[in-house]
Amino acid sequence: MQLSLVNVAYLVASLLFVLSLRGLSTQQTARRGNLLGAVGMLLAVVVTLGALLAPPEVTNAAHATQALAPGSLALLGAAIGVGSVVGAVLAARVAMTSMPELVAILHSFVGAAAALVGIASEVDGVGAGAAPDVAHHVEIHAGVFIGAVTFTGSVIAFLKLRGTIGSKPLVLPARHVLNAGMTVACIALAVLAFREGGAARVQYLLISAGVASALGAHLVMAIGGGDMPVVVSLLNSYSGWAASAAGFMLGNDLLIVTGALVGSSGAILSFIMCKAMNRSIWNVVFAGFGEGGGAQPAADKNAGPARKVNETNVDGAAELLLAAKSVIVVPGYGMAVAQAQHAVKEITSLLGARGTKVRYAIHPVAGRLPGHMNVLLAEANVSYEIVKEMEEINEEFGETDVVVVIGANDIVNPSALDDASSPIYGMPVLEVWKSSKVIMLKRGMAAGYAGVDNPLCYLDNTLMLFGDAKSSVQKLLASLGSRAEQQAA
């Protein structure tokens, strides 16, 4: 079969997407990967619009799209223009701390688009009086189901990440039976729609979309804050499969391929993150992390008289760092919120210039988004050579003089290894307590995002430096600079 210009362009765009994913796999090539993905998407949009305007004999497409009416073309152009402006403004203005929320809400757009495409396709079919085709009928109901689950699930994830909804999981009685019942109901509605035909097809589809929307909201409401990075990654996978389903409904090969790439890569990333947390995807989705077990939660066990913490000040922390030969920095979401990464980079550069061995330790689920800390450090021009993943740096803590924990809590919690009653028990963590000294920067003694108390704060070798992370880091930088100059004089 002769290839059309559209087919060739779609093939090139698909290759660019594959190269983009490959580039995004490492920090060194991430910028190039992002650029390749943008070029591929631009090519896809331009070629698709061209196919709508050009006569079929020019595109020679086997599934040539019907030409748009002038009014429809103007409406489409306006929609693309508004969307481009909104996207550009958001990308330019969004802070790195808000990136997880932005990603979550963008996933909801993909889910909503897939659901609306399915509903529109069904309405068109009923309006044309066409008899339901089995394959197309399955495509529509599957696309609407995945899209609706993705839409509401992503909205709930956005609200949780934003803090509008609490991070504590909503655990309803017999929730697994409820989830299974809603899934079976959607399947039953699809069967009824096919058997009855006519206008009832649209009615059943709308009811199914409503049930799927409730299912998506309930699934994410039952997931606690500690698992939100995995949930965002999983919703990314859902959005990919929703886009692929929309591609089947529209007969668009590129949308099918692109959706499959996003869906599979999101699933792989979710699997990798779950492995890093010593949990399964099923456990993340259905376990209601954060609800605790039969034993008393760690926070309750520690209730009563306040336990003693060892507090330090900026000058004391500066003295420790200047005397250290080996320093590891552990960044967390608190550093992202305070936008302290640039000042932290200056501190490590100052120490490195003095001959101190400095590294950064990154936990797979640090922050609220996969790779969140890596992006922040790259933004501050931290060398990739000193940014280490958990597996390669955990064994170095025992030989480290000082570890500086900046706004991290759950990823350095020893309860994950030695407290079977803790909700995070079994999750691999950065074993910072093995170092000679730990300087922990926190606003106060509140628990982390997962709502779990951290015994690290009360250990004899832990010094607490309270205050806003950016202010504390800037004061620490000033003190280090002043003391270094005095020593040099």
Backbone torsions φ then ψ of 479, nearest 5 degrees: -65, -40
Cα(100)–Cα(449) distance, integer angstroms:
14
Q: Are 401 and 419 in contact (CB under 8 A)?
A: no
Beta strand ranges found along 103-154 (DSSP E): none
Cα 420 to its chain centre, rounded Å, is 28
**Which tokens hold the place of 421?**
């009653």
Dmax (CA) of the chain? 90
Cα(409)–Cα(394) distance, integer angstroms:
16
Cα(396)–Cα(358) distance, integer angstroms:
12
Catalytic positions are 410
Kindly tell me the burial class for residue 308, based on how many C-beta atoms sit within 10 Å of its own C-beta (0-12, 13-18, 19 or more): exposed
Cα(367)–Cα(223) distance, integer angstroms:
16
Q: Which helix (H) or strand (E) holds 442?
A: strand 437-442
Q: Are 219 and 144 in contact (CB under 8 A)?
A: no
Kindly tell me the burial class for residue 383, based on how many C-beta atoms sit within 10 Å of its own C-beta (0-12, 13-18, 19 or more): middle
Sign of the Cα pseudo-torsion (118, 121, 127, 131, in order): negative
Q: Are 68 and 335 in contact (CB under 8 A)?
A: no
**Which tokens hold the place of 232?**
């965002």
Q: Are 244 and 263 in contact (CB under 8 A)?
A: yes
Kindly tell me the burial class for residue 162, based on how many C-beta atoms sit within 10 Å of its own C-beta (0-12, 13-18, 19 or more): middle
- Which whole-number Å values give the CA distances from 381 to 332, 375, 376, 386, in the listed order? 17, 10, 9, 11
Q: Which helix (H) or strand (E) holds 464?
A: strand 462-466
Sign of the Cα pseudo-torsion (123, 128, 129, 130, in order): negative
Q: Edge-to-edge strands of the sheet including 357-362?
A: 387-389, 357-362, 326-331, 402-406, 437-442, 462-466
Q: Under DSSP, is residue 148 helix (H, G, I), strand (E, B) or coil? A: helix
Cα(481)–Cα(475) distance, integer angstroms:
10
In 10 A of CB 372, how many CB atoms?
24
